[in-house]
Structure 1
């Protein structure tokens, strides 16, 4: 009986032990499976993270193969954006080649078969010209002097022959006495003021030999005896008229005095006329850092590759990311060196034709030469020197066989005259006196009336050697996912 009881106790102990062992084995197995899953998950994460990191490392830490691949993309073996001159900076020209099909193909090679989107945010200038440059429409042009039929049939009126309005009028007598605005009305008989001294009783009596007005609407200046078409000037134009003969038939018809008028004269009229704009434009240049450009979500360039195909549709890209079980994002803030010197560049408010820092003084006597077609047209430039902005306009009027230019600094302007097809502007008038290390840049801002290929821009002597690349901030962002 006792032996049987002992056998039962032994059997019960063995059973309990076996249960404990089974529980331990089960727990260990479950733990091992959990650890295994964690390890697999960690490896998957590491592989995903490595794709983004490795891609950016290859792009940002290598100049590529060959190093000058951006000069001939057909020779590209491995894409890399690092500058050949500075190991800590990217090359602007290489970065701007990123979105070309050949370069994207090489980027796919380093993506490990994953989908990705690359965005580049560059610090940048944006320039603008608000308002119009002060053009010269007439420069001391004499009407009536060579007319054998007795002077000019001179008219200053609205384009359709009506009276026009002015914001300012000045009359000056030959003895120096001046009359402005309301004071002019003292001289008017009825609504007419006759100029010159044809109607004066004494030949030596002083007479009005000069007038100046500022228009508030489009105005026509014309000699009806001349075959040339009338000259139409815009609102805000200053018109100066010098009366060259005392016995002139020139007169002003007011309606009423003094802001509404018409100037006429037929017969003994010889006048020298100048007409030019009275306002200057506001030249602006805003520099935006890469960090701000990123916050604005306006990438300088961007492209995405999904299953080996370049996709630019944001809706498709976002849907692909949604389908992926994971999305990894990597961002780097880097320096980028920019050196631009392309005098054949097209108009742009963002990309300059010249951009860099001075490594030495601009050569004395250097100048900008512009050659244009034998046609009316105009082109404008924005110039940066250190932090100062200025503007330049080259133009040719329809009624003149001459090229003119005007440089604007703040509220001041300097006018230049060239020949029939070209004009030269001293660089010191454009850039002032920048010192070594100062930023200098020039944008071709606008072009009207001329084809870009018909306009030649030169700097003589070439100043490319006097410039070095400028360092700016840039942000590179890379998204990697798997929508396979």
Structure 2
């Protein structure tokens, strides 16, 4: 070190190194600061959708019951006031307010998104139905012959039931299904449009008129097969007409007593027109010394007749020809059919089936098949969102028909943050009065039925003064049903029919006839399954052919028997930055 030199070379070198180190530390600090700033920005961006969904789905809002009085709304929240699930009514009100450009809801969403554009999708499990049906207002199904009335009760007999008909009556049952104990008493003509089925767990007693007859001879007409597998006792004061086959099988006491003729037309898919193989039964046609009666049976287009026990004739172009044994297509043990008849006329012409059997032929509204499918929200595509709201270009879009501009803006963004929630929504749809206008399909009733439906609870359907129809679909636990209501003339009666899908096809549960303005259907026919611990029920408006309003009126307060059902809900949210 020289005289006058301030620092030695070593010291100078150390100072230079310190300066370089301070510069490096300063640069590193700036980079670290920028990295931390970017990290905080990333966290802020990614937390936006999480925060929005937490506030919307985990808070009931302020006040908690804001959906009941929207004027008091401060902060919207969709959680139920009591329970960890999304409230359906709050969600509906939330989107309705957005559709009406409610500034409070819009401001709340903008505050939560920090003013950034966003797309909010709600996906709710979806029912889809497919009913193959025909509507022909000119069909004869609604025409009632003069003097007849139409039975509008159930066609499925369960338990012990007595039906009394003082006037000529049509039972529009396809079939009349007896699995309990049924007694039918008719003072006049009785016409059952479809088949009669009595299984081994059931019994049926039918009295048509007085037997032996006194002054009047009312008839019994059956529009399909007459099948008795259980017990049966029948007394008919007049003729008996069977359009299908007479089938008696199984065990039990069976006694059929017909004071006049038995005419069987043989329009059946059963291999035998009279099928009584191995069955225990007695059929008496005609009353000896009082009212004679013959048996006439058509087999493959050929008529056969019997006017005495175990004696048969075939109708030819010249008259009647006696044959040996029983006709083909008939399985009949000897002595079972006891005939007390009268001479056969060579000019005999087959009688036409009673006019009443044409009721129900070619029903104006007929359902041939019914399908239902439930799709979980995770399986739905973007076009199947239950509700949607987007904010982009300083505008709110609620359920837009085309979201391409929104998706394009999201694609061009400098960053996009996404979050989703899988939760549940309480679904309870009920109103004591529901008005249907137009052909918009949708759920009109939904919930969980906790109790059996009482017999007095009714659904009344009011229709306008015009021809038309309404087709509803019901989900009764795991069973699908179709409910058809129709009117074929302005001043005519309103008719209804309930079909049930058994898994192998549709069958008629019940038919009903009302006034010229309405028809009443028991809720217990629509929702007939046992309540147990509660089963989900749903009523869906499928198709409406009336131009005027149709009103569904609950006469029985079925709503008090129901609680909400809980449906899976998927909520998706994207937030991004506009370039």
Both structures adopt the same fold (TM-score exceeding 0.5): yes
- With over 3 angstroms needed to count, the CA separation of the structure-2 counterparts of 1:339 and 1:437, relative to structure 1, is same
Change (3 A) 1:115 1:280: closer
Residue 344 (str. 1) matches residue 341 (str. 2):
no
Q: C-alpha separation between the residues in 1 aligned to 2:572 and 2:52?
A: 11
1:399 and 1:374 map into 2 onto residues whose CA distance is 5
**Contact 1:133-1:281 at 8 Å conserved across structures:** no
Q: State the Cα deviation string for residues 393-449 of structure 1 (Å, max 9, x = none).
A: 011113872111111012211322222222111222111133132101111222113
Contact 2:465 2:490 in 1 (8 A): no
SS of the residue 1:419 aligns to: coil
Question: 3-state SS of the aligned residue for 2:385?
Answer: coil
1:297 to partner: Cα distance: 5.1
1:276 corresponds, among 361, 369, 389, to: 361
Residues 122, 290 of structure 1: 8 Å contact kept? yes
Matching residue within 391, 394, 408 for 1:308 = 394
Query: Greater CA deviation, 304-313 or 172-181?
Result: 172-181
Determine which of 435, 443, 455 is the counterpart of 2:540: 443
Corresponding residue SS for 2:93: coil
**Contact 1:385–1:434 (Cα < 8 Å) also in 2:** no
Aligned residue among 457, 466, 478 for 1:366: 457
1:209 Cα deviation (Å)? 1.1
Partner Cα separation in structure 2 for residue 48 and residue 290 of structure 1: 27
Q: Which has the higher contact order (CA 8 A, sep 6+)?
A: 1
Task: Give unpaired runs (5+ residues) of structure 1.
Answer: 144-168, 190-200, 211-240, 244-270
- The residue aligned with 2:289 is none
1:29 maps to: 26
Residues 180 and 371 from structure 1, CA distance in 2 versus in 1: closer, same or farther, beyond 3 angstroms?
A: farther
Which of 374, 383, 389 is the aligned partner of 1:287?
A: 374
The within-5 A match list for 1:456-467 is 456-467=551-562
Which of the numbers 485, 489, 502 marks the counterpart of 1:394?
A: 485
Distance 1:427 1:31 in 2: 78
Higher helix share: 1
Contact 2:297 2:303 (8 Å CA) reproduced = no
Measured after TM superposition, the shift of residue 457 of structure 1 is 1.4
SS in 2 for 1:52: helix
Does 2:51 align with 1:51? Answer: no
Q: How far is the alpha carbon of 1:121 from its aligned partner?
A: 0.7
Query: What corresponds to 2:565 in structure 1?
Result: 470
Per the TM alignment, residue 206 of structure 1 is displaced from its structure 2 partner at its CA by: 3.5
| 1:161-240 correspondence to structure 2 within 5 Å | 172=265, 175-180=295-300, 205-210=347-352
What is aligned with 1:233? none
SS at match of 1:439: strand
Alpha-carbon distance between aligned partners in 2 of 1:21 and 1:354, rounded to the nearest angstrom = 81
SS, match of residue 113 in structure 2 = coil
| Equivalent of 2:93 in 94, 97, 106 | 97
TM normalised by structure 2 equals 0.59
Contact 1:65 1:79 in 2 (8 A): yes
1:75 Cα deviation after fit: 3.0
Name the CA shift for 1:187/1:317 in 2 (closer, same or farther; >3 Å).
farther
Q: Which residue of 1 aligns with 2:574?
A: 479
More moved, 408-417 vs 339-348 = 339-348
- Residues 333-358 of structure 1 show CA distances to partners (whole Å, capped at 9, x for unaligned) of 11110100134154778631110012
CA contact (8 A) 2:302 2:315 kept: no
Q: In the alignment, is the contact (CA less than 8 A) between 1:359 and 1:467 conserved in 2?
A: yes
- Structure-2 separation of matches of 1:273 and 1:89: 55
Identify the match of residue 385 of structure 2 among 292, 299, 306. 299
Q: CA deviation at 1:18?
A: 2.7
Superposition RMSD on alpha carbons, in Å? 3.5
Measure the CA separation in 1 of the matches of 2:22 and 2:146. Answer: 113
SS of alignment partner, residue 344 of structure 1: strand
Cα distance in 1 for partners of 2:16, 2:499 equals 96
Is 1:330 matched up with 2:414? no
Q: In the alignment, which residue of structure 2 is the partner of 1:432? A: 528
Residue number in structure 2 paired with 1:73: 70
Equivalents in 1 of 2:490, 2:61: separation in Å? Answer: 55
* Cα distance change of structure 1 residues 391 and 136 upon mapping to structure 2, 3 Å threshold: farther
**1:416 — aligned with what?**
512
Contact 1:384 1:441 in 2 (8 A): yes
Structure 2: gaps of 5 or more residues: 148-242, 245-263, 267-293, 305-313, 318-342
Deviations 1:2-36 (A, max 9, x none): x659979x743234323321221122112101110
Secondary structure of 2:465's counterpart equals coil
Deviation larger for 65-74 or 335-344: 65-74
2: CA distance, partners of 1:399 / 1:107: 52
Report the equivalent of 1:218: none
For residue 137 of structure 1, give the secondary structure of its aligned residue in structure 2.
helix
Within 1, Cα distance between the matches of 2:295 and 2:142? 26
SS in 2 for 1:54: helix
Report if aligned partners of 2:142, 2:488 keep a CA contact under 8 Å in 1.
no
- Deviation string, structure 1 residues 86-123 (Cα, Å, up to 9, x no partner): 1x100112212333222344322432222211111111
Give yes or no for contact 2:439–2:544 (8 Å, CA) kept in 1.
no
In structure 2, distance between residues paired with 1:97 and 1:180: 66
C-alpha distance in 1 between matches for 2:377 and 2:361: 42
Compute the TM-score of the two structures, normalised by the length of structure 1. Answer: 0.70
Change (3 A) 1:465 1:272: closer
What CA distance in whole angstroms lies between the structure 2 residues aligned with 1:299 and 1:181?
Answer: 59
Q: Counterparts of 2:497 and 2:33 in 1: how far apart (Å)?
A: 76
Counterpart Cα distance in 2 of 1:370 and 1:297:
34
Deviation at 1:204, TM superposition (A): 7.3
Partner-residue secondary structure (3-state), 1:29: helix
